[in-house]
Amino acid sequence: MSPLPARAAFAALALGLALPGVGHAQDTVGSGVVPREHGNSAQRPVTFAVRAPEAAALVILTGSAALPDGVPLSAAERRAVEAAIAADGFAGKANAKLKLRGIGSRPVVLLVGTGSEAEGLMEAAGTAAQDLKGEKAPVALVGLASAQAAADAALGYELGQYRFDRYRTGATEAPPAQPVTVVTASATAAQAAFAARHAGLAEGVRFARDLVTEPANVVYPESFVERTRAAFRGIPNVEIEVLDEAAMRALNMGSIVGVGQGSRRGSRLLLVTYKGADGPPLALAGKGITFDSGGISLKPGAGMWEMKADMAGAAAVVGTALSLARTRAPVHVVAVAALAENLPGGNAQRPGDVVRTYGGKTIEVINTDAEGRLVLADALGYVADKRKPFAIVDIATLTGAAVSALGPEYAALFARDDAVAARLAAAGEASGEEVWRLPLHPTYRKAVESPIADVKNSDASPAPGASAGAHFIEAFVAEDMPWAHVDMAPTMWADSAEPLTPKGASGYGVRLLDALAREWKP
């Protein structure tokens, strides 16, 4: 039986997500043999210019049936394109396409509709990137009226052209040697706008997608840390702290250590601090279960391979820190990745165990497959105590209930404070990674009350699962701390290609949290 689509499997299995890195350490825990990387298909470098290169595939971005001013076509070529538009009925609707060949010396003329939405240019450029991924000629994007529009289109192309095929050993397409040229009269200003923000975003999203896509025998807690070190090497104002199992055990982090004790791969707590400004940091905490079998509370087999992605929250917060640091943003953030592998075994955590957390609270473990909230309990306690943030946002592929409630368009948002919720909602709207607020309520909090410990991690009651999970996490955040919880289970994976997200890992959270961090100051 074929596995369920990723989102359906998550809902059925109460899914988790996994994280990747860069380059492999020799894996002596598993077989000791790791797959050889053959290199991803190369992506087109982005350049900016005032004119389109000769003989480039021409991408015309337009919100109507009319050709924009300045399109580099002769009068005869323009008439031919306009005739094709009339015959096809192309009207510039969002992501609509009209692909033409035989127009002068151009190998391809591709019209892509931008529609009327603010994100239309980015999505149109991403659509073009996916359509032209096998094209050998250089590509030029035209129809961009301003420097910011050109920078936005360049980001859309970068996000849309993402590929992950590094383990395919057969013949592959020749890597495109030619760039994509974004054509605008304000090329210098567009290049500056892209470098100031979008280049870092593209790198952060790519890093997160790679981590989530990688198999769990390649990305596990230790190698996740190694890849993070490699990604940040040479970037100023960055500090990386790593706690191994011995250090966490000494600090009474029984919650994260307990989740990983069934695996021979040790758990890690990773903190990446980027200090681009003075004052207390914004803390971003991510769930990092590099493979989630469910532990003793074993998941069904169908779709379990997707549990390599249960570290998508950790990938998102580290990718956000990378984006901010690369662009030298004037912000102070600490990204916390709680990394563990949840497997059954002779030493695995059992249902019914009681564990102690960093802050001293105790947890009754009812279900070992509700492990993401367990690793976050220690991560949140540690970062609050040691880094004294002015606010905390955690992000996790926490519950299938969020998938059932919202479908693939929104991540679930929980916050105690309306002002905090408004900040997240505004960041979601600005970034295109939207959130939808779900309720916290005293009735739902009862679902995590335990008769023998401070809280329990799961419950068989009919309380909404996403809200119950948020209440559990809330128990480990001080009442006076501005806090939000994002359940990204609905948005972590694209079951089919979308304009800015080829099929697979979405990299969700990087754009959202980057937008939040740039605006939310102490």
Cα–Cα distance for residue pair 124/83, rounded to 1 Å: 22
Both tokens assigned to 254: 């029984």
- Let me know the angle formed at the C-alpha of 109 by 107 and 114, rounded to the nearest 5 degrees: 150
As a CATH number, domain 215-519 is: 3.40.630.10
**Residue 17's pLDDT is what?**
34
Both tokens assigned to 412: 């679930």
Residue 141 main-chain phi, psi, to 5 deg:
-100, 125
| 7, 209, 227, 373: the active-site residue | 373
State pLDDT tens for residues 69-126.
999 999 999 999 999 999 999 999 999 999 999 999 999 999 999 997 767 999 999 9
Residue 283 has pLDDT above 90, yes or no: yes
**Residue 347's pLDDT is what?**
97
Cα–Cα distance for residue pair 304/298, rounded to 1 Å: 10
| Residue 352 burial (10 A CB sphere; 0-12, 13-18, 19+) | exposed
- Range list of β-strands (E), 10-162: 46-49, 57-62, 97-100, 109-113, 139-142
Both tokens assigned to 115: 């529609």
Both tokens assigned to 54: 């000769």
Give me the mean pLDDT over the 149-164 stretch.
97
DSSP state of 278: S
Give me the mean pLDDT over the 305-331 stretch.
98
- Indicate the helix (H) or strand (E) that contains 2: none
* pLDDT bracket for residue 4 (50, 70, 90): very low
Cα–Cα distance for residue pair 269/252, rounded to 1 Å: 13
Both tokens assigned to 67: 């050709």
Both tokens assigned to 163: 């590929």
Report percent pLDDT > 90 for the chain: 87
Both tokens assigned to 125: 């450029």
Both tokens assigned to 325: 């640091």
Q: What single letter denotes the amino acid at residue 504?
A: G
Strands of 46-49's sheet, edge to edge?
46-49, 180-183, 139-142, 57-62, 109-113, 97-100
State pLDDT tens for residues 394-445.
999 999 999 999 999 999 999 999 999 999 999 999 999 999 999 999 999 9
Cα–Cα distance for residue pair 197/245, rounded to 1 Å: 37
- In whole angstroms, what separates CA 373 from the centre of its chain? 19
Residue 223 main-chain phi, psi, to 5 deg:
-75, -30
Residue 16 has pLDDT above 60, yes or no: no
- Let me know the angle formed at the C-alpha of 344 by 401 and 347, rounded to the nearest 5 degrees: 130
Both tokens assigned to 388: 């004294």
Residue 138 has pLDDT above 80, yes or no: yes
DSSP bridge pairs for 60: 111, 142
The CA distances from residue 113 to 74, 120, 394, in Å, are 22, 8, 36
Both tokens assigned to 42: 């190369």
The dihedral sign for the CA sequence 162, 168, 169, 174: negative
Q: What single letter denotes the amino acid at residue 140?
A: A
**Using an 8 Å Cβ cutoff, are 343 and 291 in contact?**
yes
Strands of 455-456's sheet, edge to edge?
354-356, 362-364, 455-456
**Residue 174's pLDDT is what?**
54
**Residue 33's pLDDT is what?**
82
| Segments making up each domain of the chain, as ranges | 46-191, 215-519
Q: Are strands 282-292 and 332-342 parallel, antiparallel or unpaired?
A: parallel
Is 299 catalytic? The answer is yes
Residue 304 has pLDDT above 70, yes or no: yes
Is 99 catalytic? The answer is no
**Using an 8 Å Cβ cutoff, are 361 and 454 in contact?**
yes
- Of residues 28 and 19, more confidently modeled: 28
Cα–Cα distance for residue pair 425/512, rounded to 1 Å: 9
Q: Among 229, 242, 151, which Cα is nearest to 197's? A: 151
CATH-assigned architecture of domain 46-191: 3-Layer(aba) Sandwich (3.40)
- Indicate the helix (H) or strand (E) that contains 501: none
* 61: three-class secondary structure by DSSP: strand
Supply the mean pLDDT for the chain.
Answer: 93
Residues whose CB is less than 8 angstroms from the CB of residue 119 and which lie 6 or more positions away in sequence, other chains included: 432
DSSP bridge pairs for 483: 392
Cα–Cα distance for residue pair 357/2, rounded to 1 Å: 39
Cα–Cα distance for residue pair 259/460, rounded to 1 Å: 21
DSSP state of 220: S
- Of residues 145 and 472, more confidently modeled: 472
**Using an 8 Å Cβ cutoff, are 521 and 219 in contact?**
no
| 197, 299, 326, 423: the active-site residue | 299
**Residue 171's pLDDT is what?**
53
Give me the mean pLDDT over the 214-240 stretch.
98
